[in-house]
Amino acid sequence: MENPNEPYNDMVDQTGVHTQAQHGNLLANQSKQIQYQMEDVEKNLAEAQLDVEETLTKINHLLKQDVLKTNDQGMLEWKPIDDAKKRILTDEGVDKVMQVMQSYINKETLLSNFDDKMIARRMLEFSLAFSALIFLKYEIFFRSPSMLECKEILEERIKQKVEVKKMTASIFKKDFDEEQIEKEILEEIEPRMDYEIAKIKSEQTKINLREFEMLFTQLKALVESTHNRAWKGEERGSLRRHFNISEVIGGNTKMSQQKGGMFSGWGKN
Protein backbone atom coordinates (compact mmCIF):
# COMPACT_ATOMS: atom_id res chain seq x y z
CA MET A 1 0.00 0.00 0.00
CA GLU A 2 1.38 3.40 -0.97
CA ASN A 3 2.38 5.57 1.95
CA PRO A 4 0.47 8.91 1.64
CA ASN A 5 3.26 10.68 3.54
CA GLU A 6 6.03 9.49 1.23
CA PRO A 7 6.05 12.59 -1.02
CA TYR A 8 6.21 14.77 2.08
CA ASN A 9 9.07 12.70 3.52
CA ASP A 10 10.97 12.95 0.22
CA MET A 11 10.54 16.73 0.25
CA VAL A 12 11.78 16.89 3.84
CA ASP A 13 14.79 14.74 2.98
CA GLN A 14 15.65 16.90 -0.02
CA THR A 15 15.25 20.05 2.03
CA GLY A 16 17.47 18.62 4.73
CA VAL A 17 20.17 17.64 2.25
CA HIS A 18 20.03 21.08 0.64
CA THR A 19 20.20 22.82 4.03
CA GLN A 20 23.09 20.62 5.13
CA ALA A 21 24.97 21.39 1.90
CA GLN A 22 24.43 25.10 2.41
CA HIS A 23 25.61 24.82 6.01
CA GLY A 24 28.65 22.86 4.87
CA ASN A 25 29.52 25.54 2.34
CA LEU A 26 29.07 28.21 4.99
CA LEU A 27 31.39 26.35 7.38
CA ALA A 28 33.92 25.88 4.59
CA ASN A 29 33.94 29.60 3.82
CA GLN A 30 34.19 30.46 7.53
CA SER A 31 37.01 27.95 7.93
CA LYS A 32 38.91 29.52 5.02
CA GLN A 33 38.40 33.00 6.45
CA ILE A 34 39.60 31.87 9.88
CA GLN A 35 42.59 30.13 8.30
CA TYR A 36 43.53 33.23 6.31
CA GLN A 37 43.15 35.41 9.40
CA MET A 38 45.28 33.02 11.47
CA GLU A 39 47.95 32.97 8.76
CA ASP A 40 48.01 36.78 8.75
CA VAL A 41 48.23 36.83 12.55
CA GLU A 42 51.06 34.28 12.50
CA LYS A 43 52.94 36.26 9.85
CA ASN A 44 52.49 39.57 11.66
CA LEU A 45 53.43 38.00 14.99
CA ALA A 46 56.61 36.47 13.59
CA GLU A 47 57.60 39.70 11.85
CA ALA A 48 56.90 41.80 14.94
CA GLN A 49 58.72 39.39 17.24
CA LEU A 50 61.83 39.31 15.05
CA ASP A 51 61.75 42.96 13.99
CA VAL A 52 64.73 44.82 15.45
CA GLU A 53 64.50 47.91 13.25
CA GLU A 54 62.70 49.93 15.92
CA THR A 55 65.43 49.12 18.45
CA LEU A 56 68.18 50.02 15.98
CA THR A 57 66.40 53.25 15.03
CA LYS A 58 66.21 54.26 18.69
CA ILE A 59 69.92 53.48 19.12
CA ASN A 60 70.74 55.66 16.12
CA HIS A 61 68.76 58.58 17.52
CA LEU A 62 70.31 58.18 20.97
CA LEU A 63 73.84 58.11 19.53
CA LYS A 64 73.09 61.36 17.71
CA GLN A 65 71.58 62.70 20.95
CA ASP A 66 68.31 63.48 19.23
CA VAL A 67 65.44 64.29 21.59
CA LEU A 68 61.76 63.34 21.57
CA LYS A 69 59.54 66.37 21.23
CA THR A 70 55.82 66.88 20.71
CA ASN A 71 54.93 68.09 17.22
CA ASP A 72 51.96 70.23 16.15
CA GLN A 73 49.73 67.14 16.02
CA GLY A 74 50.54 66.24 19.61
CA MET A 75 52.67 63.26 18.56
CA LEU A 76 56.18 62.54 19.79
CA GLU A 77 58.88 62.63 17.14
CA TRP A 78 62.67 62.70 17.12
CA LYS A 79 64.28 66.11 16.69
CA PRO A 80 68.00 66.97 16.33
CA ILE A 81 69.67 68.36 19.42
CA ASP A 82 69.29 72.15 19.60
CA ASP A 83 73.00 72.81 19.97
CA ALA A 84 75.00 70.56 17.62
CA LYS A 85 78.17 71.57 19.48
CA LYS A 86 76.99 69.43 22.41
CA ARG A 87 77.07 66.23 20.38
CA ILE A 88 79.47 63.65 21.75
CA LEU A 89 80.07 61.46 18.70
CA THR A 90 81.03 62.39 15.17
CA ASP A 91 78.93 61.16 12.23
CA GLU A 92 81.64 58.60 11.53
CA GLY A 93 81.50 57.48 15.15
CA VAL A 94 77.71 57.06 15.00
CA ASP A 95 77.95 55.07 11.75
CA LYS A 96 80.63 52.74 13.12
CA VAL A 97 78.79 52.06 16.37
CA MET A 98 75.62 51.36 14.36
CA GLN A 99 77.53 48.82 12.25
CA VAL A 100 78.63 47.06 15.41
CA MET A 101 75.10 47.06 16.84
CA GLN A 102 73.60 45.70 13.62
CA SER A 103 75.99 42.75 13.70
CA TYR A 104 74.72 41.75 17.16
CA ILE A 105 71.11 42.94 17.25
CA ASN A 106 69.45 41.06 14.39
CA LYS A 107 67.00 38.22 13.79
CA GLU A 108 69.84 35.75 13.22
CA THR A 109 70.98 36.31 16.80
CA LEU A 110 67.40 36.06 18.08
CA LEU A 111 66.90 32.71 16.33
CA SER A 112 70.17 31.26 17.63
CA ASN A 113 70.52 28.72 20.40
CA PHE A 114 72.93 29.89 23.13
CA ASP A 115 73.63 28.38 26.51
CA ASP A 116 74.88 30.36 29.50
CA LYS A 117 78.55 29.79 28.69
CA MET A 118 78.13 30.82 25.06
CA ILE A 119 76.32 34.04 26.02
CA ALA A 120 79.01 34.88 28.60
CA ARG A 121 81.79 34.21 26.08
CA ARG A 122 80.16 36.28 23.33
CA MET A 123 79.49 39.17 25.73
CA LEU A 124 83.13 39.11 26.89
CA GLU A 125 84.34 39.16 23.29
CA PHE A 126 81.98 42.03 22.49
CA SER A 127 83.06 44.05 25.53
CA LEU A 128 86.78 43.67 24.84
CA ALA A 129 86.53 44.28 21.10
CA PHE A 130 84.22 47.29 21.40
CA SER A 131 86.32 48.89 24.14
CA ALA A 132 89.49 48.38 22.09
CA LEU A 133 87.86 49.88 19.00
CA ILE A 134 86.83 53.02 20.87
CA PHE A 135 90.19 53.31 22.64
CA LEU A 136 92.20 53.04 19.43
CA LYS A 137 90.01 55.40 17.38
CA TYR A 138 88.55 57.77 19.96
CA GLU A 139 90.01 60.78 18.16
CA ILE A 140 87.87 59.87 15.13
CA PHE A 141 84.72 58.72 16.90
CA PHE A 142 84.44 61.46 19.54
CA ARG A 143 83.87 65.08 18.59
CA SER A 144 86.49 67.72 19.15
CA PRO A 145 85.61 71.41 18.74
CA SER A 146 86.02 73.12 15.38
CA MET A 147 88.33 76.11 14.99
CA LEU A 148 85.33 78.42 15.27
CA GLU A 149 84.27 76.73 18.50
CA CYS A 150 87.84 77.00 19.83
CA LYS A 151 87.83 80.72 18.99
CA GLU A 152 84.57 81.21 20.88
CA ILE A 153 85.88 79.28 23.89
CA LEU A 154 89.13 81.25 23.88
CA GLU A 155 87.29 84.55 23.67
CA GLU A 156 85.12 83.53 26.60
CA ARG A 157 88.20 82.63 28.65
CA ILE A 158 89.80 86.01 27.87
CA LYS A 159 86.60 87.71 28.94
CA GLN A 160 86.62 85.78 32.20
CA LYS A 161 90.25 86.78 32.85
CA VAL A 162 89.35 90.41 32.31
CA GLU A 163 86.43 90.06 34.73
CA VAL A 164 88.69 88.49 37.36
CA LYS A 165 91.20 91.35 37.10
CA LYS A 166 88.34 93.86 37.23
CA MET A 167 86.99 92.25 40.40
CA THR A 168 90.49 92.21 41.91
CA ALA A 169 90.96 95.91 41.18
CA SER A 170 87.58 96.67 42.72
CA ILE A 171 88.36 94.75 45.90
CA PHE A 172 91.75 96.38 46.37
CA LYS A 173 90.51 99.80 45.29
CA LYS A 174 92.87 100.04 42.33
CA ASP A 175 92.46 101.79 39.03
CA PHE A 176 91.21 99.57 36.23
CA ASP A 177 91.56 100.12 32.48
CA GLU A 178 89.58 97.35 30.78
CA GLU A 179 90.96 97.94 27.29
CA GLN A 180 94.55 97.97 28.54
CA ILE A 181 94.05 94.77 30.57
CA GLU A 182 92.47 92.98 27.61
CA LYS A 183 95.36 94.09 25.39
CA GLU A 184 97.91 92.73 27.86
CA ILE A 185 96.10 89.36 28.04
CA LEU A 186 96.00 89.09 24.24
CA GLU A 187 99.70 89.93 23.98
CA GLU A 188 100.41 87.23 26.52
CA ILE A 189 98.42 84.60 24.61
CA GLU A 190 99.53 85.48 21.08
CA PRO A 191 102.96 83.75 21.10
CA ARG A 192 101.36 80.49 22.27
CA MET A 193 98.11 80.61 20.29
CA ASP A 194 98.70 77.16 18.75
CA TYR A 195 99.20 75.70 22.21
CA GLU A 196 96.00 77.31 23.51
CA ILE A 197 93.94 75.98 20.59
CA ALA A 198 95.40 72.47 20.98
CA LYS A 199 94.72 72.62 24.72
CA ILE A 200 91.08 73.58 24.17
CA LYS A 201 90.60 70.75 21.65
CA SER A 202 92.15 68.23 24.01
CA GLU A 203 90.09 69.39 26.99
CA GLN A 204 86.79 69.29 25.08
CA THR A 205 87.55 65.85 23.64
CA LYS A 206 88.27 64.52 27.14
CA ILE A 207 84.93 65.91 28.31
CA ASN A 208 83.18 63.95 25.57
CA LEU A 209 85.20 60.83 26.40
CA ARG A 210 83.77 60.90 29.93
CA GLU A 211 80.47 59.83 28.37
CA PHE A 212 81.96 56.61 27.03
CA GLU A 213 81.39 54.44 30.10
CA MET A 214 77.66 55.17 30.22
CA LEU A 215 77.37 54.79 26.45
CA PHE A 216 79.17 51.45 26.59
CA THR A 217 76.96 50.23 29.46
CA GLN A 218 73.77 51.09 27.57
CA LEU A 219 74.88 49.37 24.36
CA LYS A 220 76.16 46.31 26.20
CA ALA A 221 72.79 45.93 27.94
CA LEU A 222 70.97 45.95 24.59
CA VAL A 223 73.30 43.35 23.09
CA GLU A 224 72.99 41.18 26.19
CA SER A 225 69.19 41.40 26.10
CA THR A 226 69.21 40.19 22.50
CA HIS A 227 71.40 37.23 23.43
CA ASN A 228 69.22 36.36 26.43
CA ARG A 229 66.21 36.09 24.12
CA ALA A 230 68.15 33.39 22.25
CA TRP A 231 68.93 31.47 25.46
CA LYS A 232 68.40 27.75 24.69
CA GLY A 233 66.54 28.72 21.52
CA GLU A 234 63.78 30.39 23.51
CA GLU A 235 62.84 32.81 20.72
CA ARG A 236 62.47 29.98 18.21
CA GLY A 237 60.51 27.99 20.79
CA SER A 238 58.16 30.88 21.41
CA LEU A 239 57.37 31.20 17.70
CA ARG A 240 56.94 27.43 17.39
CA ARG A 241 54.45 27.35 20.27
CA HIS A 242 52.38 30.07 18.62
CA PHE A 243 52.34 28.15 15.36
CA ASN A 244 51.38 24.90 17.11
CA ILE A 245 48.46 26.59 18.83
CA SER A 246 47.31 27.99 15.50
CA GLU A 247 47.57 24.55 13.90
CA VAL A 248 45.48 23.00 16.69
CA ILE A 249 42.81 25.67 16.31
CA GLY A 250 42.84 25.27 12.54
CA GLY A 251 42.64 21.48 12.88
CA ASN A 252 39.64 21.70 15.18
CA THR A 253 37.89 24.00 12.71
CA LYS A 254 38.46 21.54 9.87
CA MET A 255 37.19 18.61 11.99
CA SER A 256 34.07 20.57 12.86
CA GLN A 257 33.50 21.25 9.18
CA GLN A 258 33.96 17.58 8.22
CA LYS A 259 31.46 16.46 10.84
CA GLY A 260 28.90 18.92 9.50
CA GLY A 261 28.59 20.89 12.69
CA MET A 262 25.64 20.71 15.06
CA PHE A 263 23.13 20.31 12.20
CA SER A 264 24.86 17.31 10.59
CA GLY A 265 22.11 14.84 11.52
CA TRP A 266 19.16 17.11 10.66
CA GLY A 267 16.66 15.58 8.22
CA LYS A 268 17.99 11.99 8.46
CA ASN A 269 15.19 10.64 10.66
pLDDT of amino acid 235: 73
More confident residue, 77 or 36: 77
Q: Is the pLDDT of residue 264 over 50?
A: no
CA nearest to 211, candidates 119, 145, 265, 134: 134
CA nearest to 127, candidates 230, 229, 62, 221: 221
Please, how many CA atoms are within 13 Å of residue 223, restricted to the half-sphere of its CB?
24
Distance CA 92, CA 47 (A): 31
Domain ranges of the chain: 30-262
Q: Is the pLDDT of residue 245 over 50?
A: no
248 band by pLDDT with thresholds 50, 70 and 90: very low
Highest mean pLDDT among 70-84, 126-140, 235-249: 126-140
Contact 164, 157 (CB under 8 A): no
pLDDT of amino acid 174: 87
pLDDT-wise least confident of 40-49, 108-117, 118-127, 201-210 = 40-49
pLDDT of amino acid 263: 37
pLDDT of amino acid 265: 46
Average pLDDT over residues 241-253: 50
Average pLDDT value for the chain? 80
Highest mean pLDDT among 37-46, 132-141, 249-258: 132-141
pLDDT of amino acid 232: 82
Average pLDDT over residues 144-153: 93
Name every residue whose Cβ is closer than 8 Å to that of residue 166 and which is 6 or more positions away in sequence: 176, 178, 181
| φ, ψ at 142 (rounded to 5°) | -100, 140
| DSSP-based three-state secondary structure for 77 | strand
Helix (H) or strand (E) holding 79: strand 76-79
Name the pTM for this structure. 0.69
pLDDT of amino acid 72: 86
